[in-house]
Amino acid sequence: MHVPDGFIDAPVSAAAGVLAAGAVAVSLKGARRELDERTAPLAGLVAAFVFAVQMLNFPVAAGTSGHLLGGALAAILVGPYTGVLCISVVLLMQGVLFADGGLTALGVNITTMGVVTVVVSYLAFRGLLKVLPRRRRSVTVAAFVAALLSVPAAAAVFTGLYALGGTTDVPLGTVLTAMVGVHVLIGIGEAAITAATVGSVIAVRPDLVHGARGLTAPLKLRVGGELVDAAPAPVAAAPARSPRKVWLTGLAASLVLAGFVSFYASADPDGLEKVAADQGIDKKVEEHAAKDSPLADYGVQDIADARLSGGLAGVIGVGATVVVGSGVFWALRRRRTAAAPVARTEDAA
Amino acid sequence: MGAGHTHRLYRHGHSPVHALPPHCKLAAVLAFVIVVVSTPREAMWAFAGYALLLAGVAYAARVPAAFLLKRLLIEVPFVAFAVLLPFVAQGERVEVLGLSLSASGLWGAWNVLAKGTLGVAASVLLAATTELRALLLGLQRLKLPPLLVQIASFMIRYGDVITDEMRRMRIARESRGFEARGIRHWGVLAKSAGALFIRSYERGERVHLAMVSRGYAGSMPVIDEVTASRTQWSYALTLPLAAFTICLLGWFL
């Protein structure tokens, strides 16, 4: 379901747009790694496939029918980066050409239907494949679960965006229950179709399924009546890429989201706190040990404007997280590089 | 196959709106929609003003009202949703025709309906007066990444081919006596979808080889560079500027 203009207010739409643009930029890089210079024709044709398969009607019963959303299917068949790219291009063209989904809501649409479905389904798919036995059957099972999870996840993220910037005060609990409830049902259909489609592709061209790449058995040679492992093909070393650009982009996006969006976000307590207050659960809550810290309750002390103080706290929080996180990584890396020469000298001895 | 060389959403014509460079039109529509979305919903007359502006554009582009109204039908699912809003929203209730409705829900429904309809109408006018290829060139001029524009152009170019392939598979199924009636038949349909994916992917590989053999090295040559003069820009930006004036009036009156 495509969100039209005017459904989510302007600041949150803009923030979702920034998020979607960042995701598309990252996927453009990643897709080049997945497909190299074949990116444009292959991603274009897969996008055309997603566009066409969304028109394939699956009859349910008594005249009703459903169709695929395609996020999970694209992620499993062609990989997460190309998947995000294809769904985003389909949504862009639907918005510009067919007026399906508003132009200002494009960021919201790409974030929920493109990024969230692909990322959630791919993570679930990869995680399940690690656990399940390495057989073709497990790919189908993992595809089923991944597609089943992806649809309600998109609905939940949409509800979150609605809570931040919705233009009508519908009770959030009702929206969440209705959205996730309906989308679990849709997700079951999506899961069945996705699993069957992935299964049929695997049966014919297993090499085309990105998600099943690790499953091909190693090449064996029969030498003198005995099976011997063939020598693995030499793998070209990937050129080292500087992750600095990605880091900087991510940092900028987090800062914008934390500062700018929380500036506009509702000053009301969040859903959980509200439920707690309504039900009287929070009477027993003890004050947090850090309640006197200068950032307690997501605000900066001595700044009277609640929104400005919330935004500042967001920015400071992101900064602190980055500093602490990078510090930990830096320390770990130092230890590893320090340990490496020792190991080498032992080898030499 | 057998379709014309233009998209079915495009209406061929020689009006001043058709003649504008595509990137001017894209920028104008985007600015217009942003202005519409940021208008306060209480200023009901402002939305009437926007509708009049769009009607003016449609008149200048010689797009008939029936065509525009028919294309607005795409909005119907959200109209159904908007009708629900007054019943489920919170806040003070008002009596309308014996029904107890939420006042804020009524405002919300009006907000979604008015802004959504104006957005759809603006996009429909854009698609009706701009050729597909020109639209893609316009996106490129507006500094969308070239790779993204290439992917979009391949999707548009082969969208009809792939859809037709799907249609031929349906005809083949039906001529063998198959009719999908319920969940039991999903397996067959999913196999068709799988076959469609394999065919699309293989077609992509063939297209890539054909491109490489014609000297493709990662970027498409731009043959007809579209440029816009200052007059054309000012002509195209009349729409969002007029809308912006209405929006300011809506905020301060």
Q: CA A335, A340, A341, A345 torsion: positive or negative?
A: positive
Identify whether the C-beta of residue B177 lies closer than 8 Å to the C-beta of residue B62: no
Identify whether the C-beta of residue A24 lies closer than 8 Å to the C-beta of residue A84: yes
The ipTM estimated for the assembled molecules is 0.86
Per-state percent for chain A, helix, strand, coil, to nearest 5: 70, 5, 25
Return d(Cα A182, Cα B127) in angstroms, integer.
33
Angstrom distances, CA of residue B42 to CA of A28, A55, A145, B252: 42, 38, 45, 12
CB contact under 8 A, B196 and A199: no
Angstrom distances, CA of residue A70 to CA of A55, A144, A344, B110: 11, 13, 49, 32
Alpha-helical segments (H) within B176-237: 186-213, 230-236
Count of pairs with CB atoms under 8 A, one residue in A, one in B: 253
Q: What is the mean pLDDT of chain B?
A: 83
With beta carbons under 8 A apart, name residues in chain B contacting A200: 190-191, 193-195
Q: Say what the pLDDT of residue A146 is.
A: 93
Read off the pTM.
0.74
* A residues 91-130 lying closer than 8 A (beta carbon) to B: 92-93, 95-100, 102-104
Return d(Cα A336, Cα A295) in angstroms, integer.
35
Please tell me if residue B105 touches chain A, with a CB cutoff of 8 Å.
Answer: yes
Please tell me if residue B194 touches chain A, with a CB cutoff of 8 Å.
Answer: yes
Return d(Cα A282, Cα A295) in angstroms, integer.
21
Burial of A211 (0-12, 13-18, 19+ CB in 10 A): buried
Please tell me if residue A5 touches chain B, with a CB cutoff of 8 Å.
Answer: yes
Per the DSSP assignment, residues forming a β-bridge with A61 are: A64
Identify whether the C-beta of residue A261 lies closer than 8 Å to the C-beta of residue A11: yes
Return d(Cα B192, Cα A133) in angstroms, integer.
28
Higher per-residue confidence, B209 vs B251: B209
Per the DSSP assignment, residues forming a β-bridge with A223 are: A226
Tens digit of each residue's pLDDT, chain A (349 residues): 678 887 888 888 889 999 999 999 999 888 888 777 777 888 888 899 998 888 887 777 666 677 788 889 999 988 899 899 999 999 988 888 777 777 888 899 999 888 999 999 999 999 998 888 877 788 889 999 999 999 999 989 988 888 887 766 677 787 788 888 888 888 888 899 899 999 998 888 888 888 777 666 666 777 777 777 766 555 554 444 555 566 666 666 666 665 555 554 444 444 444 444 454 444 444 445 555 555 555 555 555 555 555 556 556 666 666 666 666 556 555 555 555 544 444 444 4
pLDDT digit string, tens, across residues A151-184 = 999 989 988 888 887 766 677 787 788 888 888 8
* A residues 165-194 lying closer than 8 A (beta carbon) to B: 167-171, 174, 192-193
> Angle, nearest 10°, between helix axes A80-97 and A71-78?
140
Judged by average pLDDT, the poorest of A61-75, A198-212, B33-47, B94-108 is B94-108
With beta carbons under 8 A apart, name residues in chain A contacting B179: none
pLDDT band at B187 (very low <50, low <70, confident <90, very high): confident
CATH number at A10-215:
1.10.1760.20
Q: Say what the pLDDT of residue A256 is.
A: 63
3-state class (DSSP) for residue B9: coil
With beta carbons under 8 A apart, name residues in chain B contacting A268: none
CB contact under 8 A, B120 and A199: no
Phi then psi for A233, rounded to 5 degrees? -65, 140
CB contact under 8 A, A204 and B194: yes
